[in-house]
Chain A
Amino acid sequence: MGIQEQYRNEAAELLSSGAVKLVIGYGEGSTSDRRRPVFIRSADETARLVLDANCIANLSGYLVPEGLLSDGKSVAVFLKPDGIRSVNILAAEAQVNPDQVVILGFDIDGGQASPLPGRKATDFAPLIESQKSTGLSTELQQEADQLELMSATDRFEYWNQQFSKCIKCYACRQVCPMCYCRRCIVDVNQPQWVNTSSHTLGNFEWNIVRAFHLAGRCVACGGCDRACPVNIPLRLINHRMSKEALDAFDHFAGESADQKPVLATFRQDDPETFIL
């Protein structure tokens, strides 16, 4: 039995037994290599579920909308390890109750989707632990290193060009499971901290603020980077933040539901080499 069939059966069982009221998974997309989020509410619909190496989106953001979990019922969701980490963060930040989230975990490796055993976010703790010890993506690091090698002036110019493309469609924000604020800082107008206009200065402000708000929270699912219609390499800026959180504070985002948000806590011996 392939993984897709296995997970369809599990989803069907969860639904028919009443263990969950909804399964959030992947379905066929508009082209053969696209997958789209689908919402399955009954066992006979589970044939719509697809699970293969194209299922890359982090679906945990669909757990956050107001009212979804307020009835106390559970929801099952297809998640890769990055999504499981997102659920941990959402739980740590009191956005979801982890007991109401049933995880249909899988991973993609070598062009294949493979099942991950477990149901609750805590079941995946060893996996996340091992991810932490492996460290952040070396591919991203290599790409970021290219930028780090530049002079500050050149690096500024690089981001100047990248951010000048931004149209403030907020796809990065909307697709991000971590961007759940009911009213984003850019939508606050008393005072208006971030210019709403999408000129380069306003774009700089927006992208810096978003990266900062994701510091130590980003799980590198790559959703924003893929969603960006103007191809700004958001992965790099978010990766840099993750790296700082890991290097300076040994913080690997989404380790567990008990993890304190990195900027909402401190240690007395935090490094401070740069402070005069």
Chain B
Amino acid sequence: MIYNPFPMRVVSKRDEAPGVRTLRLEFVKQEDHDYFSTNYRTGMFGLYGIFGEGESTFCVASPETRKEYIECTFRQSGRVTTTLANADAGDIVTFRGPYGNRFPIEEFEGKNLLFIAGGIALPPTRSVIWSCLDQREKFGNVTIVYGARTVADLVYKDELDEWKRRDDVNLVLTVDPGGETPDWQDHVGFVPSVLEKVAPSPDNTIAVLCGPPIMIKFTLNALEKLGFSAENVYTTLENRMKCGVGKCGRCNVGSVYICKEGPVFTAAEVQAMPQADL
């Protein structure tokens, strides 16, 4: 029934940054996998859990082009994430979902893409990035602007290296002032100012922006200055959730249920929400 999760087996885990871990999960039951394959689209989220501790909401960090497994990346902070972080390969955890709406990736086809992410918000962006890179020919220029507090806090370092090497991806990395190491070659500065410096063209470009609320706020201003219209900027919101299916009543921002109408919104939609409720 409605609140029964899929059992998932931990295949591997990877440390991304201090306190940040990625788990790769595979389905224990074929029927669960079939359900997921049919329903999952990039942008959707799930409730990851461990029986005895509870469930936590985060995005599916793997793209819709790779549905053999689910990857999730999370910061170890509460009861559930601490237990999840301690799970070993072979352990059983749970997944409930996929829930919510998705990025309209087919609408992005033929356009240039600008991805902007801050810190632990690269995972939701990453699933869009790979969804697009896995069918690279359908899109124009791809620019990724990613920043974190320190060099150590950058997540998916292997993939950052890979994107850096690719000549069909323009990767812009930055760390907050003071967060750089002596051998840091890339930018130093906050994402909004680095973005203004890089100044990607808004022409025929879709921006996907994920990050903490304060970064989103300033980056939206920067995008506006660069000439992006709010309808062409996509972002994802997160809130505390328990049910994931529009019943438990806590994730709404104004009248908008993040779990059903979100988590993917255009900046225009976010701006229409009551800001005090975010």
Contact = CB atoms under 8 A, between A and B. Distances in A.
A contacts B: CB pair < 8 Å: yes
Q: Is the interface of A mostly helix, strand, loop or mixed?
A: loop
A193 to B, nearest CB: 13
B79 interface: yes
A273 interface: no
Contacts of A192: 79
A189 interface: yes
Contacts of B79: 189-190, 192
Interface string A174-191: 000000000000000110
Contacts of A190: 78-79, 82
Contacts of B82: 190
A189 B79 CA distance: 7
A192 B83 CA distance: 14
Interface in A161-212: 189-190, 192
B88 to A, nearest CB: 20
Interface in B38-92: 78-79, 82
A108 to B, nearest CB: 41
A189 B55 CA distance: 13
Interface in B145-176: none
A192 B78 CA distance: 12
Contacts of B78: 189-190
A34 to B, nearest CB: 30
A127 B78 CA distance: 49
A192 B82 CA distance: 14
A268 B235 CA distance: 64
A189 B80 CA distance: 10
Nearest to B80: A189
Contacts of A189: 78-79
Nearest to A192: B79
6 contacts: A189-B78, A189-B79, A190-B78, A190-B79, A190-B82, A192-B79
Interface of A: 189-190, 192
Interface of B: 78-79, 82
* 5 tightest Cβ-Cβ pairs between the two chains A and B: A190-B79, A189-B79, A190-B78, A190-B82, A189-B78
